[in-house]
Amino acid sequence: MEIDTIVRAGVFLGWLVAASALLLRRRGRREAQTHQPSRGAIVGIALQLAGMAIAWGRGGKGDAPLLAAAGEAAWVLAALAVGLAWASALWIVAAVRSLGKQWSLVPRLVDDHDLVQAGPYRIVRHPIYTAFLGLLIATGVAFGSGVALAAAPALYLAGTWIRIRLEERLLRGAFGEKYADYARRVPALLPLPRFGRGAALLLALAAAPLAAQEPAPPVAWPEFERAFDAYVEAGAIVGAGAIAMRDGVVVARRDVGFADRDAGRAVDERTIFHYGSITKTLTAIGIMQLRDRGLLSLDDPVSRWVPELRAVSDPYGSPDAITLRMLLSHTAGFQNPTWPWDEGEPWEPFEPTEWEQLVAMMPYQRLLFEPGSQYSYSNPAFIYLARVIEEITGDPWEAYVQKNVFAPLGITTSYFGNTPWYLAEHRSHNYELRADGGRLAAVDQGADFDPGITIPNGGWNAPLGDLALYLAFLTGPAADAETARRWDFVLSRESLEEMWQPVMAVDEDGTGTAWSDVGLAFFLDRRSGRLVVGHTGSQANFRAFLALDPARRTAYAMVFNTSIGDGPDPGERELAALLEAAERLLE
């Protein structure tokens, strides 16, 4: 078989792989917000197609094909052309996979459009255009001539420049500063700052097979999946999700069941769950921020900002002895529930809804032990901490967290309280298991509920992707200097590690999950000889688990939308096995 036949077949197959990736992804594309292509987009596409057509041509009379003119070097040139074609094709496959169902021929946004920065989008902002340039060059070598190879890239790049301008105008309008930050860090088309100007394009395309690979999941992930599925089945869970992370990147994910069973809406990457008491870690970070800004000391009495607490009965002295540090570590002596008189009556609130209600209850409560002498999990303690944040800053707690934690971390879909209308279709319902004729039935309790005044100790709603951004901040490292700068605005690594120092030994965290110590809001487990940090959450039938190994920079999060109202968990044994399997994800 002649060399030109071999190289042309190899390049043609590269085109076939690239085209198939784009066409198959287009079939499942999500609904777009805009539909009419602009004149500029049509011109850009026409120029790109003209460049591609020239690359396939033979040139004018007397213009010899490149392979024929290469002589003894023809085999080397042929190998480079086929390698470049296939590297480009795999780069397109990886880019389309990262982009998901957002890919479109013309500039447009789809509903819930995401700013993709994974896979090849970490290297250039428009990797599909970069890859087609590689395919065009390989095609010029295999099918064209020197004249064609010189003219084709010029036309293609002119069209690409027009399309990039249109697409980036749309993305800047949709994502604002988030996209501006991405554009500052990542070049548009050619990764020149990363690889040098000489062989930038060839090196970028040669890396395509690596970019096409998914991050390797933890070795223990198959075992975890089996344990996860076993608990979902034994515990009659309607819907659940889990992620594993390493070095700030999600390396494995599992979504099972339904977010809304009656509607047939499955759990997916956009499903919004409720994380209960994991919210307490946000409140604690807010207190640490104010400490680092010199606005308070952790050993200040909480009554300095919440004088109403002086009405609580303290048989051991004065409530003025209760410090912010004691509230953060659940050692102040306050009771566990915010509403302490639950008798199961239908008139009782799910949670108190106003601060004045808590104040009215204070004269009828007493401390359980001398402040600072022992541990006892307390939900109202974190409402008092939130009150401190509000008194010092003048911001409602929700606004403070949005501005000082979520915004700098790039967390955009999280919210508190009722679900925003534009996110309602992604909100998971919660399900309560009830006895029904000798079996357990999962009863739909709806999507939203009123957490009342308890939002600072248990109100966080978010997709698992937002939890991943939070865990990336907790584990580190920052991907670049700009991210490190924004993370330091939230909290320095030194202050985070201070929160992970043991304050008092514990057996469990109030939900039955075993730990060895409590720090400042976070729970610690040092039983295995290494430090594991985490928190759990349980409210309104949602249950969530979050843990990380700071030394290994590994983490996991899992969440379930179903729990039992009264009686033992039917999947208690499977849950214990699942927690053991989850811990091995951190190794």
pLDDT at 349 over 70: no
In this structure, the dihedral spanned by the alpha carbons of residues 416, 421, 422 and 423, taken in order and rounded to 10 degrees, is: 50
226 or 172, which is more confident? 226
What is the pLDDT of the chain when averaged over all its residues?
A: 85
pLDDT digits (tens, 9 = 90+) for 418-435: 999 999 999 999 999 988
Q: How far is CA 461 from CA 445, 557, 559, in A?
A: 16, 14, 11
Which of 449, 459, 473, 378 is closest to 414 using CA atoms?
459
Are the C-beta atoms of residues 81 and 156 closer than 8 Å to each other?
no
Q: Output the pLDDT for position 62.
A: 43
The answer to whether the pTM exceeds 0.75 is no
What pLDDT score was predicted for residue 97?
82
First to last CA, the chain: 52
Q: Give CA–CA dist 172/115, Å, rounded.
A: 10
CB 568 within 8 A of CB 562: no
Q: Among residues of the chain, what percentage have pLDDT more than 70?
A: 83
Which of the two residues, 395 and 18, has the higher pLDDT score?
A: 395
Which tokens go with 361?
């209850």
Closest CA to 147 of 66, 46, 77: 66
Token reading at 232: 């979902």
Please state which of the ranges 113-127, 236-250, 313-327 shows the lowest mean pLDDT.
113-127
The per-residue pLDDT for 68 is 55
Cβ-in-10-Å burial (0-12, 13-18, 19+) of 527 comes to exposed
Identify the weakest region by mean pLDDT among 30-39, 234-243, 259-268, 401-410: 30-39
Contact present, 251 and 245 (Cβ < 8 Å): yes
- C-alpha to C-alpha distance for 7 and 79, rounded to whole angstroms: 7
Distance CA 293, CA 98 (A): 40
The region of weakest confidence among 360-374, 377-391, 563-577 is 563-577
Residue 154 one-letter amino acid: A
Tokens representing residue 42 in the block: 């049509």
More confident residue, 67 or 357: 357
What pLDDT is recorded for position 209? Answer: 42
Q: What's the confidence (pLDDT) of residue 197?
A: 41
Pick the CATH number of 221-584 from 3.40.710.10, 2.60.40.10, 3.40.1390.20, 1.20.210.10: 3.40.710.10
- Do the beta carbons of residue 179 and residue 410 sit within 8 Å? no
Fold of 3-212: Four Helix Bundle (Hemerythrin (Met), subunit A) (1.20.120)
- Nearest alpha-carbon partner for 367 in 311, 312, 304, 302: 312
- C-alpha of 196 from chain center: 32
Known catalytic residues? Answer: 277
Confidence of residue 38 (pLDDT cuts 50, 70, 90): low
pLDDT classification of 175: cutoffs 50, 70, 90: confident
442: enclosing H helix or E strand: strand 439-444
Q: Please tell me the distance from the alpha carbon of residue 366 to that of residue 333, in angstroms, as a whole number.
A: 8
Is residue 256 within 8 A of residue 559, CB to CB? The reply is no
pLDDT reading at 169 higher than 50: yes
Over the stretch 116-132, which tens digit does the pLDDT of each residue have?
Answer: 888 888 888 888 888 88
Domain parsing of the chain, residue ranges: 3-212, 221-584
